Amino acid sequence: MKDIISIDSFDKDTKYVKIKLNPNVYNLQSIYAAGYVFLDKAYIILDQNRDKNIEVYLFAKDNQDIKNLGMEFYNELINYAHYFSRVEKNSAMIKTIMQRVLFSVNPKFAEEAEEQEIQELLKELEKEEPAKSRNKYGLANPKKKK
């Protein structure tokens, strides 16, 4: 745990916590979101070291326990990492729900969306049909009788 969170001081009055984060564990979006929550509690500096790890420096604005501030930041990271992973996994379901809401308000949207989907499917079929109907010499295959 010592390598993950370290507490240093510049002088008697200035304390900060330095947090090293692996970008393979915490994406930048989660780090920004957690940092945004801490704007009222701390001054925040983000950096990247030679090992490509993200370094977060938190400088307490009030007389807060600096170690607790760092641990709270980790809690927020977990919170937002979980949130963004759920949003990503549920994005198709969220899209479907939003479409249903919009379509229930105005049925014309549903008709337009259905028409667009039909047109896209027809285009896909047109692209597939020439490839299936030609033999290895590029000639049209004879249609089979049933």
Question: pLDDT tens digits, residue range 92-131?
Answer: 888 888 877 877 777 777 677 788 888 888 888 888 766 5
**Does residue 33 lie within any of the structural domains?**
yes
Q: What is the mean pLDDT of the chain?
A: 80
> Do 97 and 80 meet the contact criterion of CB atoms below 8 Å apart?
no
pTM of the predicted model as reported, rounded to 2 decimal places: 0.58
- The answer to the question of residue 144 being in a domain is no
Domain boundary among 89, 104, 121: 89
Domain that holds residue 114: 91-132
Domain count, the chain: 2
Give whole-number Cα distances, 21 to 3, 25, 31, 78, 131, in Å. Answer: 10, 8, 9, 12, 50
Query: What pLDDT, on the 0 to 100 scale, is given for residue 29?
Result: 93
Q: Is the pLDDT of residue 135 over 70?
A: no
